[in-house]
Structures are given as structure tokens and as C-alpha cells.
Structure 1
Amino acid sequence: MSRLLPYPLLATSLLVMWILLNGLSAGHLVLGAIIGIAASWAMTALEPAKPRLRRWGLIPGLFVTVMADVLRSNIAVASIVLRGRRGQRTSGFVTIPLELRDPTGLAVLACIITSTPGTAWVEYRSGTGVLLLHVLDLADEQEWIDIIKGRYERPLMEIFE
């Protein structure tokens, strides 16, 4: 079974997503299954490292924190755009020294930062562990460093390292 379907969760989730996007029919079921199996085989060629989760119990809390921050950031960015406060805000770059080195943890951190409106992951230097972050409304650079390190990096380190 593992040779036919090396990543069954990936294949199944792609099939379900295909059906949800295109509707349930015999043709879409077959096409979605083909896409899921092909993606599963393609994933074996990439040979991804299996992430090792050390503290599963922290994941729900991190998820709630991220969702609350995404909601809060959506409201803040909408306020900037709708009120036309463009002249009153200052965008800029923040350099954040990270202690997190796990590739999966860094990927999750990149997804968190990029999915939060008003922030963008610009660059990560693996040799020095320095993250360059762009912030739409940069009032206090140290506040952003504390947010990233305290709210996201610390829990991710406990989960992955």
C-alpha cells in the first residue's frame, strides 16, 4: 500500500479538495484520484524530512493565537485602507534574530507571518538565523521582535525542537 500511495493523507486531502471545488461526479472523482496519486508519487521524489513533533498539546493554543492575530491584523489593515491613514503610517523592515532552526518550524513560522495581513516574510539567512520582516504599520520595532519571538517562535521551538 505504501508503494502505491506513499502519502495517503496528501492524496486523500487533494481528492477531497478537488471534489469540493468541482462538485461530485464520476469524472471528477477519477480525475481527483489521479491528481492525488500523482502528487503523492511526486512527493516521494522530493524526499521530505518527516517532522518530529515533540509537544502536540501546544498546537491548539498556537492555532488560537494565530487566528486571533490574523483577525486583529485584518481589522487593522482594513482600517488603514478604508480610513485612508496612509500618511499617518510608516511601513518598514524589521530584522529579527531567530533561535528556531528546525526547517518545519521555520516553514510554519513563514506561513504564520505571511498569512497575517500587514506583514511579509522577506528573507531568512540560515547561516546567521536572521529574519527580515516587512511590516505595513511599523510603530515600534522592538514590539514586533517581541511578538514574533514570544508569540510564535517560542511555541514553535517547543513543538519542533
Structure 2
Amino acid sequence: LQSDGYGAYDGLPQVTNVGCLAHARRKFMEAKKLQGKGKSGKADSALAKIQKLYALESRLKLASVEERWSERQSSAKPMLDDLYDWLTTRKVIESSPLGKAIKYTLGQWPKLIRYVEDGHLSIDNNRAERAIKSLVIGRKNWLFANNPNGADASALLYSIIETSKANGLILYDYMV
């Protein structure tokens, strides 16, 4: 199960949790914002290390599962070791945004690095989050469905539209 750091997933039996490096990266991006415009700081160092991992994944996008696993073993593992060394040697105020980013990342570390053990896994769960983004946005709108029949009709149409999009189909052709 690949997710953010939501703790409830940790207790699920027979489930291997895989972390999301994008969530860790976002925390460092928040810390970077406080460095001041145009200024470089410690958050930039972490972001540069994380970016190298994403660059590798970008190059491996079309690779086979076996090739992805092999390249992660030879390239991503040393990069992750370098990031871990950086995280564990920083002296920062724990309550600062950078301190919180480091604490979150170290707390999630075993899950964050799990993706290198299987070429089927992703470095993050961004694809899943993009898939549910419409649902998250729609939740607020659906409060005003007026009645259960209207809500059911909206849900049905929404399901058809999203299924069409997910499969790269032209909605009109799919519905006709």
C-alpha cells in the first residue's frame, strides 16, 4: 500500500507500506519558502538530492521492471544513502520547518526507501493522488445535490466520465 505518512495504515495486517517521497519533498519545499526569495539554504540541499532520485525515475519510466530494479539498486540506493547521511547530520531546530521536514522524512524512512526493492513500485503516489483529485474537489460541490436521486445521477455520470478519462477514451464515443 503506497501512501502518505498516515499512521492508520501501519497497523493493517499483511500489508507492506510504501512511502511517498513527494510528501517528504513538499515539506522541504515549505522550508525553502522561508529561506527568502533568491536565497539558498539547507532545504535546497535536500531538494537537490531528492531531485536526483526523481531524475533517475524519469529516465527509467519506459524500462522493464527488472531494469528498473537493477538501476535502483546500483544508482538509487547510493543516492538514498547520501540523503540519509545528510538528514542525520543536520543540526537544526526541530520545531523549524526544516526540522519538521527532516523529522518527517526520517520517521518515514523505511517506507520511503522501500520502492527500490521492487521495480513495480513507484517513488511516490502522485499518480493515485491525481486520480482522486476530482473526487476531493467535488466533495464540496456534492453537498448541494438537493436530493438522493440527484446525488445518485451525479455519481453515475462522474464515474462514467472519470472511467473514460482514465482509459484515454473520448467521452462522447464512450457514451454513444
Which TM-score band (shorter chain)?
0.3 to 0.5
Higher helix residue share: 2
Q: If the length of structure 1 is used for normalisation, what is the TM-score? A: 0.33
Higher strand residue share: 1
